């Protein structure tokens, strides 16, 4: 497509909506993104407060075995990530996102008081399953709304703001959790009840204030797939995967390899506890430092990504992981270790923002929910194998060795990314003749 015809198409798309014209002109992040960010801020406060102690409650109060806890977590995470894929596909099929989000958040909100009254493994399992089911249902439609409303030049900043607010909530959730467990004299169920309050407020915010566009205003700019007729809508079918485009699937290949290097933060807590003899009750500090790094990096990286090539910016995020691995492996003091954990949070905020922003650019707008669902599913598969790799290395070698294996896989991910940059031209445009 020539530059002249491309400009005329963009002008036509821009003139179709006064809202889009205003957003494009002033470059502001839409109010909807702020509302979703604040909603996630409150939900993450609730989540970290409640579920930081759910494992301890199961083990210390209800007498659950480690095998039982592991089985519970595995089933819940599997359900969550399956629902992220299906809810994303459904939001594309119905061309509506908010209703699916509300359905998901109902389960997440109800799970908090259910956990507070739980006095058996079965009830805790039910509460945990409801929370993960609800989280999975709302995740992909929520992220897709951000791409739907964000101006083209503010995609990264919009995702960065949302994630920074969310992880700021995780930081406060960790702080409030420590304060609450102390104030209630280790009354886990009372803490679970207190955690219900911010979740309920977030749910009301979603119902009353969050609006979704009646049409998808922000088109993808690099996808190879053509758009369908405006009067048609995608079928609910796995066959839609082929329309996500070569660039998307190459990006998912990079993401799969990269996520294999990202073991769960639980291993960082174990390393701090074993290597520096930090008391278990201070384990939440590891998550607080990690979430601070994530919150601090998400928005600045998002803004910077709106001005530079995002694919190349991803190299920075992977390099940050390699640096964090080196710092934590060589750490001889708790201060150095926490510096490495902070860097671990920085790379997480940077890379996740870039991946999601690239999906918003590369995937056709009528398949955004599907693309984001695939992304979350790939993350889940990779996380399963990453934790098993870390567990194998820690058992047969040492906890410090997990940073060596992580770094080695990270180098491979960086090489795959450079190969992808070489294969895919960032200027490829898709045909939109079906819109005319």
Measured distance CA(167)–CA(290) in Å, rounded: 9
Of all residues in the chain, the percent with pLDDT exceeding 70 is 83
The DSSP code sequence of 263-323 is --THHHHHHHHHHH---GGGTHHHHHHHHHHHHHHHHHHHHHHTTS-HHHHHHHHHHHHHH
* Closest C-alpha among 94, 38, 83, 28 to residue 206: 38
Better pLDDT: 308 or 371: 371
26-217 shares its CATH topology with 240-436:
yes
User: Which of 15-24, 34-43, 318-327 shows the lowest per-residue confidence on average (mean pLDDT)?
Assistant: 15-24
pLDDT in tens, 94-110: 878 899 999 999 999 99
pLDDT at 237: 66
Measured distance CA(306)–CA(313) in Å, rounded: 10
Give, to the nearest 10 degrees, the angle between helix 188-208 and helix 31-51.
Answer: 170
C-alpha distances (whole Å) from 297 to each of 106, 164, 290, 316 are 31, 8, 11, 12
| Pair 375, 355: CB distance under 8 Å | yes
pTM over 0.85: no
Measured distance CA(320)–CA(234) in Å, rounded: 38
Judge whether residue 352 has pLDDT over 60.
Answer: yes
pLDDT at 272: 82
- Here the tokens at position 152 are 């083209």
Measured distance CA(210)–CA(98) in Å, rounded: 8
Q: Given the structure tokens 């998550």, which residue do they identify?
A: 287
Measured distance CA(402)–CA(262) in Å, rounded: 10
Measured distance CA(190)–CA(185) in Å, rounded: 10
User: What 3-state class would DSSP assign to 50?
Assistant: helix
User: Which of 22-31, 132-141, 226-235, 307-316 shows the lowest per-residue confidence on average (mean pLDDT)?
Assistant: 226-235
Measured distance CA(52)–CA(71) in Å, rounded: 17
CATH class of 26-217: mainly alpha
| Pair 373, 138: CB distance under 8 Å | no
pLDDT in tens, 130-182: 998 999 899 888 888 888 888 878 888 888 899 889 989 988 998 898 888 88
User: Which of 12-21, 51-60, 385-394 shows the lowest per-residue confidence on average (mean pLDDT)?
Assistant: 12-21
The DSSP code sequence of 206-239 is HHHT----SS--S--SS--SPPPPTT----SSGG
Q: Given the structure tokens 């900043």, which residue do they identify?
A: 157
Q: Which helix (H) or strand (E) holds 347?
A: helix 334-362
Measured distance CA(247)–CA(253) in Å, rounded: 10
HEC string of 55-100 equals HHHHHHHCCCCHHHHHHHHHHHHHHHHHHHHHHHHHHHHHCCCHHH
Confidence category of residue 338, pLDDT binned at 50, 70, 90: very high
Judge whether residue 225 has pLDDT over 70.
Answer: no
240-436 CATH = 1.20.1250.20
| Residue boundaries of the structural domains of the chain | 26-217, 240-436
417 contact partners, CB below 8 Å, separation of at least 6: 254, 258, 311, 314, 315, 318
pLDDT at 66: 60
Q: Angle at Cα 160 formed by Cα 155 and Cα 163, nearest 5°?
A: 130
pLDDT at 233: 56
- Write the Ramachandran bin of 211: left for phi over 0, alpha for psi from -120 to 50, otherwise beta: beta
């Amino acid at each position: 497509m020539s530059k002249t015809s491309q400009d005329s198409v963009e002008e036509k798309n821009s003139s179709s909506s006064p809202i889009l014209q205003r957003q494009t002109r002033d470059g502001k992040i839409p109010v909807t993104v702020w509302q979703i960010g604040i909603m996630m801020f409150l939900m993450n406060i609730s989540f970290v407060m409640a579920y930081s102690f759910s494992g301890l409650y199961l083990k210390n109060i209800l007498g659950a075995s480690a095998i039982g806890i592991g089985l519970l977590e595995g089933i819940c995470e599997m359900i969550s990530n399956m629902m992220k894929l299906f809810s994303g596909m459904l939001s594309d099929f119905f061309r509506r996102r908010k209703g699916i989000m509300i359905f998901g958040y109902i389960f997440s909100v109800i799970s908090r008081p259910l956990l507070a009254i739980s006095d058996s493994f079965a009830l805790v399992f039910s509460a945990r399953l409801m929370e993960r089911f609800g989280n999975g249902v709302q995740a992909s439609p929520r992220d897709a709304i951000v791409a739907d409303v964000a101006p083209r030049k503010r995609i990264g900043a919009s995702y960065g703001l949302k994630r920074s607010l969310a992880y700021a909530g995780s930081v406060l959730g960790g702080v409030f959790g420590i304060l609450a467990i102390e104030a209630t004299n280790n009354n886990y169920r009372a803490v679970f009840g207190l955690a219900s309050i911010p979740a309920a407020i977030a749910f009301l915010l979603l119902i009353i204030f969050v609006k979704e566009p009646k049409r998808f205003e922000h088109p993808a700019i690099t996808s190879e797939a053509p758009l369908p007729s405006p009067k048609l809508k995608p079928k609910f079918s796995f066959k839609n995967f082929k329309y996500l485009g070569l660039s998307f699937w190459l990006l998912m290949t990079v993401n799969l390899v990269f996520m294999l290097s990202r073991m769960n933060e639980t291993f960082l807590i174990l390393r701090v506890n074993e290597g520096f003899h930090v008391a278990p009750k201070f384990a939440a500090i590891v998550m607080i430092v990690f979430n601070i790094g994530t919150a601090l990096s998400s928005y600045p990286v998002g803004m910077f990504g709106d001005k530079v090539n995002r694919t190349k910016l991803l190299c920075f995020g992977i390099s940050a992981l390699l640096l964090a691995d080196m710092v934590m492996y060589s750490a001889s003091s708790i201060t150095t270790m926490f510096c490495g954990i902070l860097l671990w949070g920085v790379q997480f905020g940077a890379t996740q923002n870039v991946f999601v922003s690239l999906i918003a650019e590369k995937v056709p707008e009528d398949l955004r929910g599907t693309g984001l669902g695939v992304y979350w599913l790939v993350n889940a598969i990779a996380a399963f194998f990453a934790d098993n790799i870390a567990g194998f290395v820690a058992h047969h070698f040492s906890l410090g060795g997990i940073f060596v294996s992580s770094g080695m896989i990270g180098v491979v991910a960086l090489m795959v990314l450079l190969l992808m940059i070489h294969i895919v031209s960032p200027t490829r445009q898709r045909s939109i003749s079906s819109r005319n």
